[in-house]
Homo-oligomer: A and B are copies of this chain.
Amino acid sequence: MTETALRAVSPPTHLSEANEPTSPVQRFGADEPLLLDAGVALAPWQIAYQTYGTLNAERSNAVLVCHALTGDQHVANRNPVTGKPGWWETLVGPGLPLDTSRFFVICANVIGGCMGTTGPASIHAEGGRVWALDFPLVTIRDMVRSQAMLLDRLGIASLFCVVGGSMGGMQVLQWAASYPERVFSALPIATGPRHSAQNIAFHEVGRQAVMADPDWRRGRYLDEGVRPRKGLAVARMGAHITYLSETTLHRKFGRALQNRDAPTFTFDADFQIESYLRHQGSSFVERFDPNSYLYVTRAMDYFDLAAEHGGTLANAFRGSPTRFLVMSFTSDWLFPTRESRAIVHALNAGGAQVGFVEIESDKGHDAFLLDEPEMFAAARGFLDAAAIARGIR
């Protein structure tokens, strides 16, 4: 019956990327701590990032792309771990809506991540062991603070635009709230002003799946030479369902059987959807650190922009100079359109400039990463108009 359970696949990813990433890194010493919401001054720390295009002489054309839960800084180049194309090559590149021949695009790995920015898989300066669960918990605001310190290093006072989907969109909103004068325009996609009870619930199941794996070793698996593969795979399988729509699942898989004419009456993956999910789970564990999964999901759960502003979301954007375009997808049930509407209402109440597009799509939450011509067209129009207003050629 061994084929019925999730199998370990190939040797573990060695997470050399966590400490010595194949992308530029800015390192901050004891005198430049990252001040975290948890009350910890994190130092030393580092942030890994990629850039595309050229910063113009006026330093006015910088665009910050914020990545989602399991994304990274490799937006538009081959990923050094998976060997696959960048995760947003549909949107970012020469001639694309985020035109790298016009804009200087920056994307940094989030704090708590595992692709070169300090996180639980990083070597802890004191002792040579990895941080594991000694790493302090982080928030979306901490991610944004770390990005602001990166931009200071790079000499970028003001961003032309901040763009992101899902957790990336939370960072976009946090940027506009925390540093309004540094954000000329903002493009939050498929996101919300806070994480819902249902979304917290799904994340909690994923965390429990990781922590239930005896190879998690209370977070010390890297020191002990093991890896909670099965737990992380189960977490990913469950999460993956929430990224798709029922329609997508039905269209792609329906009740089709996997390379067979009749059910086997075993616990093998009889249905294509089962086989697909098992693959999603087992490939994810090759590229992502299990503890990072705990930290970054927790950061999303803690996100509640209104709570930071006396319980009124509009206060987060009061008098904002930023121009916004908010986008949602009709079939996204993780961040449904009502979440985007709440953002739009708050922006209107706060007196900000805001456009809103709900895109008809049956691809669910993942639509923001896929080929969605209406999203591309709306983003292009918004960015082109903002570029004229900003005087970018």
Contact = CB atoms under 8 A, between A and B. Distances in A.
Interface of A: 1-2, 4-6, 37-39, 133, 136-137, 194-198, 200-202, 204-205, 207-209, 211-214, 216, 218-219, 230-231, 233-234, 237-238, 241, 246, 249-250, 252-255, 263, 265-267, 269-271, 273-274, 277-278, 281, 294, 298, 301-302, 304, 307, 333
8 contacts: A5-B211, A5-B216, A137-B265, A196-B249, A202-B241, A205-B238, A207-B267, A209-B212
Contact of A208 (B5, B216, B304): B5
A213 B219 CA distance: 17
A230 B252 CA distance: 32
A68 to B, nearest CB: 20
Contacts of A302: 263
A234 B234 contact: yes
Contact of A198 (B208, B230, B246): B246
A8 to B, nearest CB: 11
B250 A200 contact: no
B133 A1 contact: yes
A212 B255 contact: no
A249 B201 contact: yes
Contacts of A194: 255
Contacts of A271: 197, 200, 204, 301
Given A198-B246, A200-B274, A277-B201, A214 B212 contact: no
Nearest to A338: B246
A235 B165 CA distance: 29
Contacts of A250: 196-198
**Centre residue among A195, A200, A281, A294 by max chain B CB count within 10 A:** A200
A212 to B, nearest CB: 4
Contact of A273 (B197, B241, B249, B281): B197
Tell me the interface secondary structure of chain A in the complex. Answer: helix
Given A4-B211, A212-B231, 7 more contacts: A136-B265, A198-B241, A201-B237, A202-B238, A207-B267, A208-B233, A212-B213
Nearest to A232: B212
Contacts of A269: 204
A37 B213 CA distance: 35
A230 B2 CA distance: 20
B6 A211 contact: yes
Contacts of A216: 5
A88 B268 CA distance: 34
Nearest to A132: B1
A234 B209 contact: yes
Contacts of A38: 265
Contacts of A133: 1, 267
Nearest to A229: B212
Contacts of A274: 200-201, 204
A2 B301 CA distance: 21
B273 A208 contact: no
Contacts of A218: 1-2, 5
Contacts of A265: 37-39, 136-137
Contacts of A252: 197
Contacts of A333: 333
Contact of A197 (B230, B234, B254): B254
